Chains A and B, each alone.
Chain A
């Protein structure tokens, strides 16, 4: 194959990759996904980095709107408001430190105007038994309502989906 053709092909491929990268970065649904990845990273962050439970809980709270509503289903009482969530996160940190959160099969549907999004995902919880060292996996399906405000993308609504009714 002539060198000129090879060089032209390389340029076209590089340009296509650049266009794909720029459009992906700018895409709002990608921003939503990144925000969810950041939430997982915040939940999974090591508890040995010197920060106290309050600082961690406050960082966790930034992922949610003031009027967030969380319905975990299965008879659990709904959690309403960021303040309630923050205090719960602070109190539950010794327990949450024992599990790792991961989101799988994330689908993002953007709302009109690009300031809201509906997310459908499966949350995987990998629990580490601190005594036996064993691990157990649990998974639950959720729908999330997200809103883009002055603080970026935040979760406004969380509802558990009953896969098996």
Chain B
């Protein structure tokens, strides 16, 4: 067997082929149903996530649990190909409001070390339903009108953003 053939196919071509197929299958399953690659676009999650960066969504993150406060989650729109990336700040049953840019949970201010700049946003208090979460981006330096945030149903949360 020539050197090039040995380098490409290995000592045992059949075993190499099996390895390639197994590796391809594992990669396909992992990146389609477990760790879904996404490209973030937009400035709403600055400075935590910059635009045009590649990130991964762990779709199994909430199989045995629920989203926790300060988790960064991917939220699906009509399907899984276009997603919002937001941070969970309010949990089911809680009262959420924003007063002069500070988030209040059940009337108490929320400490948010990931927020660098704040504009004096005002959001009237809302009480979340039993399956609702309040999500918001980290970039509070932009105008509230240009920033998508609010209540979202648990069924729309695809998974937790990792890396």
Contacts and interface: CB of A to CB of B under 8 A. Distances in A.
A152 to B, nearest CB: 23
A132 B114 CA distance: 29
A164 B149 contact: yes
Interface centre among B79, B84, B151 (most CB of A within 10 A): B79
B115 interface: no
Contact of A163 (B41, B42, B80, B84): B84
Contacts, number: 53
B77 A107 contact: no
B69 to A, nearest CB: 17
Interface in B63-87: 75, 77-82, 84, 86
Interface stretch (A6-14, A65-73, A77-85, A116-124): A116-124
Contact of A105 (B80, B86, B148, B151): B80
Contacts of A136: 41-42
B135 interface: yes
Nearest to B136: A164
A137 B41 contact: yes
B156 interface: yes
Contacts of A107: 78-79
A124 B135 contact: no
B49 to A, nearest CB: 14
Given A104-B82, A122-B82, A124-B82, A165 B150 contact: yes
A99 to B, nearest CB: 14
Contacts of B84: 163-164
A163 B152 contact: yes
B77 A122 contact: yes
A19 B75 CA distance: 37
B81 A122 contact: yes
B151 A139 contact: no
Nearest to A143: B78
A139 B79 contact: no
Contacts of A106: 78
Interface in B125-163: 135, 148-152, 156
A163 B77 contact: yes
Interface string A80-98: 0000000000000000000
Contacts of A162: 150
Given A104-B82, A163-B152, 6 more contacts: A122-B82, A124-B82, A139-B82, A141-B78, A161-B78, A164-B151
Interface of B: 41-42, 75, 77-82, 84, 86, 135, 148-152, 156
